[in-house]
Each structure stands twice: as C-alpha cells, then as structure tokens.
C-alpha cells in the first residue's frame, strides 16, 4: 500500500513522470467483488474484484492468452495519463513444457496474436 500523501505532496509530484513501464502477461475480466471492510488486507483483496476469463482463451502458466487485452490496457493508460510514454517492459508466454524448443506452436501463436 502507498502511504497517504498531503495535498502539497500531491501537487509536487503531479505530472512528473517520465514514462510508464507496463508488464502484461494475461487479461482478466473483472466484476465488483464481495469484500467487506473486515476482509483481511492483501494485494488481491484490496482490489475488491472478482476475476474470470473466457473459455476460448488459450491457457498458459501466466494466465489465459488474450492479445486484445494488451491493446485495451495500453489505450486506457494512454488516456488516463494524458499520453505519457508507455514502455512494455515485460510480456511473454508461459509454457507448460520447456523442452519443446523446436515445436513451439503455442508460443508462435502467442506472439502472432499480440503482433497483429
């Protein structure tokens, strides 16, 4: 959790970012969760969302593959942060078997989907 900022601190840092680094491995569909004020605090519980995915999305170790999700989050971040430069700092396909280096159709499909 971030500490609370004073109004002076908020004014001081507003608009000072140089770029946004974004990691993207998967996409989740979200709805409002069932958390209450007494729900124990955690990185997952603090968001108070329930997540799901579509059965048609290819599974991977990192979560379901959903190429349009990257475009959606890039568009949202671009709009939310007034066009600040965005660097995709991490992404990739989490394979279930690491020994399939020559026949790696899943990874080929992953990158093909994301580069369209």
Q: In angstroms, rounded to a whole number, what is the distance separating the alpha carbons of residues 28 and 87?
A: 21
Per-residue model confidence (pLDDT) at position 100: 60
d(CA 50, CA 33) in angstroms, rounded, equals: 5
* Residue 22 neighbours by CB under 8 Å, 6+ apart: 73, 74, 77, 86, 87, 88, 89
Nearest CA-CA partner of 60 in 90, 93, 91: 93
Tell me the CA end-to-end span of the chain in Å, nearest whole number: 36
Task: List the structure tokens of 60.
Answer: 């991977």
With a cut of 70, say whether residue 101 has pLDDT above it. Answer: no
pLDDT in tens, 46-98: 888 889 999 999 888 888 999 999 999 999 999 999 999 999 999 988 776 66
pLDDT of residue 109: 86
Mean pLDDT estimate for the chain:
88
> 80 near 15, Cβ under 8 Å?
no
């Amino acid at each position: 959790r971030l500490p609370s900022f004073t109004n002076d601190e908020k004014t001081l840092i507003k608009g000072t970012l140089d770029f946004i680094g974004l990691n993207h491995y998967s996409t989740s569909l979200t709805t409002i969760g069932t958390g209450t004020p007494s729900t124990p605090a955690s990185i997952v519980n603090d968001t108070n969302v329930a997540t799901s995915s579509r059965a048609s999305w290819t599974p991977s170790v990192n979560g379901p593959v959903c190429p349009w999700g990257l475009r959606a989050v890039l568009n949202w971040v671009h709009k939310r942060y007034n066009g600040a430069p965005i660097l995709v700092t991490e992404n990739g396909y989490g394979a279930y078997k690491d020994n399939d280096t020559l026949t790696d159709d899943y990874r080929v499909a992953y990158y093909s989907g994301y580069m369209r």
